[in-house]
Structure 1
Amino acid sequence: MKDDVGSDPLLRLLRHHYGERWSIRRTARLWIATTMDDTARHAPTLIEEDLETFIRQLENPPAGAGRATARQGPRERTRPRNGTTENGPLEG
């Protein structure tokens, strides 16, 4: 995919203004932004057809879905207590 920002002044302007927080690109129909902050609690990627909606989301990103796990360390694995398994109490 060719990234010719020089011929797209609007893309250049958005990158200049939001480039610290977002990596911004576009296709013929879509505006796409990916957060630069791995710890962000908002949606990591924005995809919009409408430029005004896209800019509103750059300013005030929607909430993310699920939990971010990229920067979390490995979970501590604890041993099951006596009389239980990892899935619950022993049957029988």
Structure 2
Amino acid sequence: MITENQYFNGNVKSLGYETTEGKSTIGVINPGEYTFGTAQKEVMHVIEGQLQALLPDATEWINIAAGNQFEVPANSSFKVKAAVQTAYLCQYR
């Protein structure tokens, strides 16, 4: 089954699906700054565009260009900033 998700007044939209490895979502983030929480370990791949991320326990933002990824541990939150529309794939493991 495919699920539709919408966050932050429609500024982040994704489609969710299940694989043999677990749940994943693929979506688009509009320009802005957002805080996400996750109950599971999350691997976020930037497909197109670019994000800045402030990871748990970090004090400095990092740049994540298209073709790169970052990981977030379970039961934590993180922030992202997008200057342009950015496509992503999140894998929950």
TM-score when normalising by structure 2: 0.28
TM-score when normalising by structure 1: 0.28
Greater relative contact order, per chain length (Cα 8 Å cut-off, separation 6+): 2
**Structure (1 or 2) with the larger CA radius of gyration:** 1
**Larger strand proportion of the pair:** 2
